[in-house]
Homo-oligomer: A and B are copies of this chain.
Amino acid sequence: MQNKIIEFLKNSKNYISGEEISRNLKMSRAAIWKYMQELRRDGYDIVAVPHLGYRLVSSPDKLFPHEVQSNLDTKVLGKKIVYFDSIHSTMDHAFELGMAGEDEGTVVCAESQTKGKGRLGRSWSSPKGKGIYMSIILRPSLLPSNVAQLTLLAAVATCEAIRKTTSVAAKIKWPNDILINDKKVAGILTELSAEVDRVRFVVVGVGVNVNTALKYLPKQGTSLKNETKKMVSRVELLQEILRLMEQWYQRVNAEGFSPVMKRWKELSSTLGKRIRLIDAGGKIEGKAIDLDRDGGLIIRSDSGIAVKRMSGDIIQVG
């Protein structure tokens, strides 16, 4: 009901009388008053003027499902949003939902995480109300070995969404970091539950440092606010990420993975650069020459031999 009232207030430029709301939403004036109080507690600035009615002055910068879903226009992604003020980890919660049979497209998001997860068991700084911390459940027809494609897809969508929302030339660093001016502003984490020859579900997590102060971030991290010197609407950015992810996801289902590969390469900050890659097996230095279809990075070492790496951390050298 609150959602309907907010929708109603948003769609009118002027004051609306309680009577009009009452008539349209078929509820008592007393109930409307009660909901207005609740909305104010949630951070909505609603003024009430005698004889004129109610007017919405501003909405809080919260990732409330009805805010994110308002004018979202996606078919699958975000049709259901599970929202928390604080949660241990949106990844873990989405994984549990996936285990319990949750539908494709459901999004778990939170204002803060107490145990935000990064890649390879690392943590993700998640201060309250500053970033986007969200995980999406997908049920693609993929082999486990091809799930890295979804990481690349999510990186493309997130990078494009940041570009569209802030006009900053974000880039993708292999395998799944989004950089602005060579500093990390967002990361993608993909987890899966699978049989050997069948994925049961995938959870794609996106973390973006939106209005995060640098003191909360690791040394090589930055936030959109820090780069643009402006506050960025988390709701609008999250909506854009969901829209673009859905568009790319539909396109992959229709045309295959090549368009994502092509776009990833255009947005890449890694290809063509001289890099050092460190993984469990040791380190290798050379030129990053290509992205393989399975998400692997092709590196040509100084001896001229090209090798592929599926995992690891890279730094640009020379």
Interface window among A58-66, A186-194, A216-224: A186-194
Contact of A147 with B196 at beta-carbon distance under 8 Å, contacts A141-B280, A280-B141 already known:
yes
Interface size on A, residues (CB 8 A): 30
Cα(A198)–Cα(B119), bound, Å: 9
Cβ of A310 < 8 Å from any Cβ of B? yes
Known contacts: A192-B194, A193-B193. The answer to whether A145 contacts B311 by CB under 8 A is: no
Interface of A is mostly: mixed
Contact at B192–A175, with CB atoms within 8 Å? Answer: no
Complex Cα distance, B200 from A189, in Å, reads 14
Specify which chain B residues have a CB less than 8 angstroms from the CB of A151 in the assembled complex: 196
Asked whether A175 and B191 contact (CB < 8 A) given A145-B145, A145-B294, A311-B143, the answer is: no
- Identical chains in the assembly: 2
A120 near B195: Cβ-Cβ < 8 Å: yes
Task: Give, as a whole number of angstroms, the nearest-CB distance from A122 to chain B.
Answer: 11
Kindly identify which residue among B99, B120, B144 contacts A145, using a CB–CB cutoff of 8 Å.
Answer: B144
A295 (CB) vs chain B CBs: closest residue = B196
Q: Check: A302 CB closer than 8 A to any chain B CB.
A: no
Least CB distance from A191 to B in Å reads 5
In the assembled complex, the CB of A67 is this many whole angstroms from the nearest CB of chain B, namely: 30
Residue of B nearest to A96 (CB): B99
Please, which residues of chain B bring their CB within 8 A of the CB of A192?
144, 192-196
A173 to chain B, nearest CB (A): 15
Q: Quick one: closest B residue to A203, CB to CB?
A: B195
Shortest A88–chain B CB gap in Å is 13
A148 within 8 A of B: yes
Closest CB in chain B relative to A159 CB, distance in Å: 17
Q: What 1/0 mask marks residues of chain A from 135 to 148 whose CB sits below 8 Å from any chain B CB?
A: 00000010111011
| A95: chain B residues within 8 A (beta carbon) | 99, 193
How far is A129 from B189 in the complex, measured between Cα atoms in Å?
A: 43
A189 to B193, CA, bound (A): 14
Question: In the bound complex, what is the Cα–Cα distance between A90 and B126 (angstroms)?
Answer: 37
Residues in chain A within 8 A of chain B (CB atoms): 95, 99, 119-121, 141, 143-145, 147-148, 151, 175, 189-198, 200, 280, 294-295, 310-312
Given contacts A144-B192, A145-B145, A192-B196, 15 further A-B contacts (CB under 8 A): A95-B193, A119-B195, A144-B147, A145-B294, A147-B196, A148-B196, A151-B196, A175-B197, A191-B195, A191-B200, A192-B192, A192-B195, A193-B193, A196-B295, A198-B311
Closest CB pairs A-B (n = 10) = A145-B145, A197-B311, A144-B144, A148-B196, A190-B196, A151-B196, A191-B195, A192-B194, A193-B193, A143-B310
